[in-house]
Amino acid sequence: MHELSLTQSLLDVVEDYARRDGFSRVNVLKLSFGRLSCIDPGALEFAFDIQSRGTKAEGARLEFDIRPAVLYCMNCKQESLSEGFQALCPLCGGEDVLLAGGTEELKLLEMDVD
């Protein structure tokens, strides 16, 4: 469960910003990651609820922007959205497809703080 280490890294970033900017509480953290990045939003929320206790982020709500999987077909030169990696282009059935999106790592996009 790598969500534990992701949460710890996220809390470290929050504490760094809190020291620098002087806020006392985090209300919302907006996060982004790719659908195929192997991050489980439920596990991340669970880990965050536990690990944020006693920190400036305790009780904060997590909002997710989950980036879709994008396939690029070398045959028809088109991009298409997908629920996962497919070996065939869903548009033309071509076999030369590249994964062009959906593997983005966890990013902190915004923080709502007091």
Mean pLDDT by 10 residues, the chain (114 residues): 92 97 97 96 97 98 96 96 86 94 96 97
pLDDT at residue number 84: 80
pTM for this prediction: 0.88
Q: Say how many domains are in the chain.
A: 1
CATH code at position 46: 3.30.2320.80
Rounded to whole angstroms, the Cα distance separating 87 from 110 reads: 35
* 3-state secondary structure string across the chain: CCHHHHHHHHHHHHHHHHHHHCCCCEEEEEEEEECCCCCCHHHHHHHHHHHCCCCCCCCCEEEEEEECEEEEECCCCCEEEECCCCCCCCCCCCCCEEEEECCCCCEEEEEEEC
Where in the sequence is the domain holding 28, given as residue range(s)? 3-113
pLDDT at residue number 85: 79
pLDDT at residue number 96: 95
